[in-house]
Amino acid sequence: MTAVAYRTITVAPIAGALGAEIGGVDLSTSLSDETVAEIRRAWLDHLVVFFREQDVSLDAFRAFARRIGEPVEYPFVKGMDDFPEIITVSKLPHETVNFGGIWHSDTVYLERPPMATLLVAREVPPFGGDTLFANMYAAYEALSPAMQRMLAPLRAVHSSALADVSKTREDRMRDAGNGETREYTSEHPVVRTHPETGRRALYVNVAHTLRFAGFTDDESRPLLQFLFAHSVRPEFTCRFQWRVGSIAMWDNRCAMHNPVNDYHGYTRTMHRITLAGDLPR
C-alpha cells in the first residue's frame, strides 16, 4: 500500500491485510471537516480503524458517528432510552456465549445493510476478548479468474435466523430485546462493488448466508463452505486487542469481524452504533 500523507492525524497500520490505528485526535471534541475527511480516507484505505484512550460520553460517541454517517437502530436489541441508536453489547461473568461471536458482516439479512459499525470499549477482561477482522477485497482478489467469473452473476440469500448466529443474540435479547421475533431475509450479490472505492469484495458470510439464489441448500453448501473458509485465511486478517476507551470503526461493505470468546468468568462491555448503508450492487 502506497504511503499516504495526513495533515491532522497519524495513521499506523497494524497488519498487512487491513487495520490501522489513528492517533492525534480527541473524539470527545468537535472535529474539523479536514480531520473528519482524513479519518474517513484512512478508514476507506484500511477497512477498519482504531482509536486509543478515547474518553467519550454517549453524546460525543453519537456525535462522532454522525460525522461519518447516519446512525440507525439495531433490529433485535433495544437501544438506550436517551440514545436509541446505541446498544450495549455485554458478556457477563456467568455467560458462556458472546454476542455476535462468529465471522460475519453486520445485518447482511437487511435489504440495506449498514455501511459501518462503531464500537467503544467500556469494560474489558484482564485478557482475551480481542476482535478479528477480515479483508473481503483480498479474499475476492485471491480467487482464481475462473472462480471470479463464476461468482460474478450469482446472488446469495441471507437470513437472520441461522442457528449459529441466533444463539449469540439470546442473552442480549432476553435482557434488552425490543420484542422483535420476525426473521429478516435478503438477497444480495455474492461479489459486491464498493460504492465509494469501486473495488470488488466477496459478500457472503457463515453467520447469515443461507444459499445461492435459485440453488438448493445442498447445492450451495460445498461452494459456500469453501468461500467461508477462504475468506478468513490468516493473511487476510488482523487482530485488535481492546483497552478501555478503545474505539473501532469498520466498513461492513468490505470487511468481516469475529469477536473472540475466550474470557469466561469476566465482563466485557461495549457500546455500539451502526450507520445506515445502501443497496448492495
What are the C-alpha distances in Å from 177 to residues 93, 171, 180, 244?
A: 20, 9, 7, 25
Please state, in angstroms and rounded to a whole number, the distance separating the CA atoms of residues 93 and 96.
8
Phi first, then psi, for residue 18 (nearest 5°) are: -170, 165
Domain membership of residue 97 (yes or no) is: yes
Give the CATH number of the domain where residue 241 resides: 3.60.130.10
Domain membership of residue 214 (yes or no) is: yes
* pLDDT reported for residue 75: 87
How does residue 20 score in pLDDT terms, banded at 50, 70 and 90?
A: very high
- Mean per-residue pLDDT over the chain, rounded: 94
Domain membership of residue 44 (yes or no) is: yes
Query: Helix, strand, coil proportions of the chain in percent (round to 5)?
Result: 25, 30, 50
What are the C-alpha distances in Å from 173 to residues 88, 89, 176, 224?
A: 11, 11, 5, 29
Domain membership of residue 3 (yes or no) is: no
Phi first, then psi, for residue 200 (nearest 5°) are: -95, 140
Domain membership of residue 25 (yes or no) is: yes
* pLDDT reported for residue 33: 98
Parent domain of 147: 10-275
Q: 135, 133, 132, 119: which is closest to 243 by C-alpha?
A: 119
1, pLDDT greater than 80:
no
* pLDDT reported for residue 169: 47
Q: How many domains does the chain have?
A: 1
Q: Output the nine-digit C-alpha cell for 154.
A: 450469482
Amino acid letter, 59:
D
Category of 40 on φ-ψ map: left (φ > 0), alpha (ψ -120 to 50) or beta = alpha
Domain membership of residue 42 (yes or no) is: yes
- Mean pLDDT of the 30-57 span: 98
33 is catalytic: no
On the CB side of 34, CA atoms within 13 Å amount to: 5
Query: Among the options 106, 158, 172, 268, which is catalytic?
Result: 106
Domain membership of residue 281 (yes or no) is: no
How does residue 231 score in pLDDT terms, banded at 50, 70 and 90?
A: very high
Please state, in angstroms and rounded to a whole number, the distance separating the CA atoms of residues 21 and 9.
10
Query: Among the options 104, 172, 192, 208, which is catalytic?
Result: 104
Query: Among the options 62, 188, 257, 271, which is catalytic?
Result: 257
Domain membership of residue 95 (yes or no) is: yes
174, pLDDT greater than 80:
no
* pLDDT reported for residue 178: 54
Please state, in angstroms and rounded to a whole number, the distance separating the CA atoms of residues 244 and 133.
19
* pLDDT reported for residue 167: 54
Q: What is the DSSP string of 232-269?
A: T-GGGEEEE---TT-EEEEETTTEEEEE----TTS-EE
94 is catalytic: no
257 is catalytic: yes
Model pLDDT for residues 75-129, shown as the tens digit of each residue = 888 999 999 999 999 999 999 999 889 999 999 999 999 999 999 999 999 999 9
